[in-house]
């Protein structure tokens, strides 16, 4: 009995340690069954919990996505979205004078106007599966997640071109989950609403390329001075390489980095068989010619700023900076450059010169040149000062200066209209007029008198006494009427000293009025703009030539003939050129202003010297440097213009001017009407010369 029990124990012990055949009965089998059941229950519970967690997570994610989606704008807004586009101002030969924009310098281009290399490069580099996905590239996301996990940071987003477009149009650029979700939602919606062609076109026109250039057209012009459609493979690869970091990889800042990125783009294009490897290698070794960096705000800045002020007044500053207008102007840019050179040259000469026994400096710091086509009113040149960067004040249109004797032609035209002729005789002799301010005795610049002389001779020599007598005889009101008909719009009053330029005018007024004389008595509106187009090429403004006769052509021909004598025989000899030229010099009291305004039938030009603070120059007359400055400018301006004669006049109507005194009415306007208000103002006004 005891022996049997021991054997059983031994048998069980052997089976327990695996030394006997297994059996589906016994305590060991039961134990394994329990363990398996527990294991199944554990995994079932775990799977259930995971399923529940996924279900809850899915619900939470769905609710989160829906909540984000509710805050997003409709992608239908893209259809009505009008991005800011740069307004451009062009010269008469389509040279860009200015690009006006706010933050975004953008020029919109249809996809067919963009180089195919750009399209191939951007897809190869930024979104290889662009034509296969529907807004989201899950392979790209998985790749990005792996890189982010390995780097333990957010280094890549896996965004498609559509997602990038959504970000640029609607979202901020901070890398966070909410933005990525919003980006994905918008990308899917954009893909449903727009074709791939639309999306690619919008992307290339929207994206930032560095140095304030938005859109591929602005980038192409910035970096290579080309249209986007003209970019070759090498240029396209370099530009697309900038997308990774436009400022960091800019060829202007780091050409080596830019070349590295170019090589990456080219190799990527070769890898996906868009181009061959030999094409990639050839493009990489190709010499690239970058466009020169623009260190200017405007070309021809005095003229261009004048145009900008007119645009702002007409359309408003915001529209000018964002609407993408194309403004075509009248400026001859090459001639403008010549004018800039002439002005700087004469101011520099003046600074280095001395005059008189005391060897004093000439003392002028500013000069200006303005040139207009008489027949059209087109402003061809406007150099309103010595250096726009130092002083933006435009002396052609903003400064009001006394014109001195350049006002006298209006007096003589009024006299000719009243029946006088160039051969009318007047006595140049001392005379005194009784005025409301007391006796007035005009004097000539030479302090001498010429006796009996013709009107023609008096104008040639700029005789003050004769001009005053004519003004007194025909009436200052008639002189003012004629001046206004010709285009002088500044206030004028019937002073006896009116012929000597007592009232301040702008250079634009004065030169345009002389343009009427050059145009045989026909006045046209002066303009700097020929037409304006909107961003789609529709004309929204076109200058219409508005010509009207304001003076008899025979009378004007008589005056012009008299003014040719100023250059041939009179005070304007320094302006002489071997062709018919008419003009007039002008110098104000104390040599504060010096003018020469002259013309040929095709072009009228004014030249001025002086100081902004109105301090006197040293013996500077209009017949000296202004006439020489005019001549040096006009040599270039007339180089390609045929020699033309002025119309002749044979009208002769002799008439003498009496020396009777004239009393100016006591009820005169106050002296601040274009005059100085200091106690010696009247004396100063009556002391004009030349």
Tell me the domain boundaries of the chain: 2-71, 103-285, 339-685
**Cα distance between residue 153 and residue 146, in whole Å:** 11
Provide the token pair at 292: 């020169």
What's the CATH fold of domain 103-285? Penicillin binding protein transpeptidase fold (1.10.3810)
**Helix-, strand-, coil-residue percentages of the chain, each rounded to 5:** 45, 15, 40
Q: How far apart are CA 408 and CA 405, in angstroms?
A: 5
Q: Read off the tokens for 184.
A: 């994905």
Residue among 256, 285, 282, 258 nearest 270 (CA): 282
The whole-angstrom separation of Cα 631 and Cα 197 is 58
Distance separating alpha carbons of residues 168 and 48, to the nearest angstrom: 43
pLDDT at position 148 is 57
Is the distance from CB of 501 to CB of 688 less than 8 angstroms? yes
pTM here? 0.74
Dist CA 690 CA 463 (whole Å):
7
Tally of CA atoms within 13 A in the half-sphere of 394 that contains its CB: 20
Q: Do domains 103-285 and 339-685 have the same CATH topology?
A: no
> Do the beta carbons of residue 372 and residue 511 sit within 8 Å?
yes
The reported pLDDT for the residue numbered 9 is: 42
Buried b (16+ CB within 10 A) or exposed e, 451-477: eebbbbbbbbbbbbbbbbbbbbbbebe
- pLDDT at position 75 is 54
For the stretch 209-260, pLDDT in tens is 988 888 999 999 999 999 999 999 999 999 999 998 888 899 998 999 999 9
Look at residue 105 and give its three-state secondary structure: strand
Predicted local distance difference test score (pLDDT) of residue 284: 97
How far is 349 from 353, CA to CA, in rounded Å?
A: 6
Distances from the Cα of 238 to the Cα of 130, 160, 202, 217, 463, angstroms: 21, 20, 20, 14, 70
pLDDT of residue 81: 61
334 Cβ contact partners less than 8 Å away, ≥ 6 residues apart: 93
Which portions of the chain are predicted below pLDDT 70? 1-32, 52-82, 140-141, 143-158, 171-179, 294-296, 650-690
What token pair was written down for 386? 């010595």
Contact assessment for residue 401 and residue 610, using Cβ atoms and an 8 Å cutoff: yes
Within 384-502, residue ranges assigned H as helices are: 408-417, 455-460, 464-474, 476-486
The three-point CA angle 677-682-684 to 5° equals 90
- Report d(CA 247, CA 249) in Å as an integer: 6
Question: For residue 30, what pLDDT is reported?
Answer: 65
The pLDDT assigned to 104 comes to 73
Q: What is the pLDDT of residue 408?
A: 98
Please name the residue that has the structure tokens 């640029």. Answer: 168
Q: Which pLDDT belongs to residue 181?
A: 75
Residue 13 burial class via C-beta count within 10 angstroms: exposed 0-12, middle 13-18, buried 19 and up: exposed
Euclidean distance between CA atoms 37 and 42, whole angstroms = 9
Of 405, 421, 589, 649, the catalytic one is 405
8 Å CB contact between 215 and 108:
yes
* Annotation marks residue 334 as catalytic: no
Q: What is the pLDDT of residue 668?
A: 32
Instruction: Quickly list H helices, 87-155.
Output: 116-126, 138-151
Query: Which residues are registered as beta bridge partners of 599?
Result: 582, 604
* Paired tokens of 618: 């040293």
Per residue in 321-369, pLDDT tens?
889 999 999 999 999 999 999 999 999 998 888 877 778 899 999 999 9
What span, in angstroms and rounded, lies between the C-alpha atoms of 412 and 415?
A: 5
Residue 17: predicted pLDDT? 44
Q: State the residue for tokens 């002005």.
A: 343
| Helices (H) then strands (E): counts for the chain | 23, 20
**417 flagged as catalytic:** no
| Residues 664-686: b if buried by 16+ CB within 10 A, e if exposed | beeeeeebeebbeeeeeebebbb
The class that CATH gives domain 339-685 is alpha beta
Element (H, E) at 188: helix 177-193
- SS3 annotation, 284-353: HHCCCCCCCCCCCCCCCHHHHHHHHHHHHHHHCHHHHHHECCEEEECCCHHHHHHHHHHHHHHHHHHHHC
Report the pLDDT value the prediction gives residue 669, as an integer from 0 to 100: 31
Question: Of these residues, 85, 99, 104, 126, which one is catalytic?
Answer: 126
Please give the span between the terminal C-alpha atoms of the chain, in angstroms, as a whole number: 159
Residue with tokens 């900008």: 308
């Amino acid at each position: 009995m005891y022996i049997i029990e021991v054997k059983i124990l031994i048998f069980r012990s052997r089976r327990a340690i695996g030394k006997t055949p297994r059996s589906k009965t016994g305590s060991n089998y039961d134990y394994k069954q329990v363990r398996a059941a527990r294991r199944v229950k554990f995994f079932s519970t775990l799977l259930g919990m995971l399923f529940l967690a996924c279900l809850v997570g899915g619900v939470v994610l769905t609710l989160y996505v829906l909540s984000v989606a509710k805050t997003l704008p409709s992608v239908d807004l893209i259809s009505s979205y009008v991005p800011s586009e740069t307004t451009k101002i062009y010269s008469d030969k389509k040279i860009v004078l200015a690009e006006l924009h706010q933050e975004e310098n953008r020029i919109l281009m249809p996809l067919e106007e963009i180089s195919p290399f750009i399209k191939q490069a951007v897809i190869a580099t930024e979104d290889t599966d662009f034509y296969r996905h529907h807004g989201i590239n899950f392979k790209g996301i998985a790749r990005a997640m792996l890189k982010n996990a390995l780097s333990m940071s957010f280094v890549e987003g896996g965004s498609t071109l559509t997602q990038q477009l959504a970000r640029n149009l609607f979202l901020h650029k901070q890398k966070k989950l909410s933005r990525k979700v919003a980006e994905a939602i918008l990308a899917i919606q954009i893909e449903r609403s727009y074709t791939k062609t639309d999306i690619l076109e919008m992307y290339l026109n929207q994206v930032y390329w560095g140095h304030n250039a938005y859109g591929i057209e602005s980038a192409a012009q910035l970096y290579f001075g080309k249209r986007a459609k003209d970019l070759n493979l090498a240029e396209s690869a370099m530009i697309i390489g900038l997308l990774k970091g436009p400022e960091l990889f800019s060829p202007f800042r780091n050409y080596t980095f830019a070349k590295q990125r170019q090589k990456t783009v080219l190799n990527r294009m070769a890898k996906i068989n868009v181009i061959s490897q030999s094409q990639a290698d050839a493009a990489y070794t190709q010499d690239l010619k970058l466009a020169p960096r623009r260190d200017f705000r405007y070309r021809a800045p005095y003229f261009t700023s004048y145009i900008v002020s007119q645009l702002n007044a007409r359309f408003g500053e915001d529209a000018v900076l964002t609407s993408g207008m194309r403004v075509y102007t009248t400026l001859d840019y090459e001639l403008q450059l010549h004018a800039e050179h002439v002005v700087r040259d004469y101011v520099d000469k003046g600074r280095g010169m001395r005059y008189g026994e005391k060897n004093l400096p000439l003392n002028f710091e500013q000069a200006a040149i303005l040139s207009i086509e008489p027949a059209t009113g087109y402003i061809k040149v406007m150099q309103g000062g010595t250096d726009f960067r130092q002083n933006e004040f435009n002396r052609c249109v903003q400064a009001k200066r006394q014109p001195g004797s350049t006002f006298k032609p209006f007096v003589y035209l009024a006299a000719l209209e009243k029946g006088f002729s160039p051969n009318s005789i007047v006595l140049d002799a001392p005379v005194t007029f009784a005025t409301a301010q007391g006796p007035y005795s005009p004097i000539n610049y030479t302090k001498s008198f010429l006796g009996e002389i013709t009107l023609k001779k008096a104008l040639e020599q700029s005789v003050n006494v004769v001009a005053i007598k004519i003004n007194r005889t025909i009436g200052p009101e008639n002189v003012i009427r004629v001046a206004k008909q010709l285009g002088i719009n500044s206030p004028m009053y019937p002073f006896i000293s009116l012929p000597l330029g007592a009232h301040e005018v702008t250079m634009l007024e004065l030169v345009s009025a002389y343009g009427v004389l050059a145009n045989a008595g026909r006045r046209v509106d002066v303009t700097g703009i020929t037409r304006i187009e909107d961003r789609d090429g529709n004309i929204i403004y076109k200058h219409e030539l508005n010509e009207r006769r304001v003076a008899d052509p025979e009378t004007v021909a008589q005056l012009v003939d008299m003014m040719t004598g100023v250059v041939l025989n009179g005070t304007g000899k320094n302006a002489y050129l071997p062709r018919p030229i008419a003009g007039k010099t002008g110098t104000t009291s104390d040599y504060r202003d010096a003018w020469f305004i002259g013309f040929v039938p095709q072009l009228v030009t004014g030249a001025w010297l002086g100081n902004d603070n109105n301090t006197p120059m040293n013996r500077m007359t209009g017949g000296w440097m202004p006439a020489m400055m005019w001549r040096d400018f006009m040599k270039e301006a007339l180089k390609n213009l045929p020699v033309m004669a002025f119309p002749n006049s044979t009208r002769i109507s002799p008439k003498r001017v009496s020396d009777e005194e004239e009393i100016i009415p006591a009820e005169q306007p106050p002296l601040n009407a274009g005059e100085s208000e200091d106690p010696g103002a009247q004396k100063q006004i009556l002391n004009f010369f030349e």
